[in-house]
Amino acid sequence: MPKPKSKYFPKLREQLFVIVFGTDTRAGKLFDIVLLWAIVLSVLAVMLESVREIKEEYASVLFLMEWSFTILFTVEYILRLMIVSRPKDYAFSFLGVIDFLAFIPTYMTLFVAGGSYLVVIRSIRLLRVFRILKLGRYLREASVLTDALRSSRHKILIFMGAVTTLVMIMGTLMYLIEGEGGGFTSIPRSIYWAIVTVTTVGYGDIAPQTVLGQTVASLLMLMGYAIIAVPTGIVTSEIAQAEKNKKMEESDGRVCIACGVKGHDDDAIYCKNCSAKL
């Protein structure tokens, strides 16, 4: 992020920028840690509020926490808007919207009364959990994982397409075989069962009762058992590749003394760039 151009209070603004966006100074680190705890605690508070017993007993504590966090997040949001050089870009970025949605629902509860609307509005506060993504910059290790997932994107999609086709066919088949018995009341519901089975989740709320149905279900399970090997194979192969690439980047191979070009193979005798003997 480019440093903001000084317009008003240039000195103060720059100092705030270092604290709010930076992670190098002590104040910057402290700001990050306080904010992280505020996010985690505010999310926990909203979640605990959904438990009836807790809500009834600790109503006032939860109310106090909610408004404290809301004011804290509001201040932080305004601060960020003031500091950055392009406030609009921040406000409409993914994290900017999340920051906004983290405090606005609490204010909305003042104007909206009652019922199901309130539940939805309150639930939006849970989107605060996305703010944890801000910590992503600390995670160097994550790059290997995201690289591996990104380059296996296409293969995973194809795999998912194959699984979707499989569960559609098997779900329909089971609907025809089992009929109303055992909970296979419609094709979409049978497909839901097929997904529950092929992913080896197996709730047991829908389960085949006929011998033929159990035979087909057994086949589906064994297929799911073998199929799960495919995404694992894809990701493993990609992670191994990503790690190799990372290592390659870190250690650049042999250097030619004559021309300084790096990256010669281990068995090279002459420099590939200037033909000097290595």
Binding piece for its own copies, criterion CB under 8 A, among 13-21, 31-39, 42-50, 70-78: 42-50
**Contact pick of 32, 66, 178, 238 for its own copies (by CB under 8 A):** 238
Number of residues that bind its own copies (CB under 8 A): 93
β partners of residue 254:
264
**Contact pick of 33, 202, 212, 246 for its own copies (by CB under 8 A):** 202
Take residue 153 and report the two structure tokens written for it: 């994107």
**Contact pick of 27, 101, 145, 258 for its own copies (by CB under 8 A):** 145
Q: Rule CB under 8 A: which of 7-36 touch its own copies? A: none
**Contact pick of 155, 210, 255, 258 for its own copies (by CB under 8 A):** 155
- 219 Cβ neighbours under 8 A, 6+ residues apart: none
- Which three-class secondary structure state does DSSP give residue 8? coil
The least CB distance from residue 34 to its own copies, in Å, is 20
Residue placing its CB nearer to its own copies in the complex, 20 or 198: 198
Say if CB 76 and CB 99 are below 8 A apart: yes
Question: For the chain, how are helix, strand and coil distributed in percent, rounded to 5?
Answer: 70, 0, 25
- The alpha-carbon radius of gyration of the chain (Å, integer) is 28
Q: Rule CB under 8 A: which of 217-236 touch its own copies? A: 217-218, 221-222, 224-226, 228-236
The least CB distance from residue 234 to its own copies, in Å, is 6
- Establish if 46 lies at the interface with its own copies (CB under 8 A): yes
In whole angstroms, give the CA distance from residue 6 to residue 10. 4
Say if CB 102 and CB 127 are below 8 A apart: yes
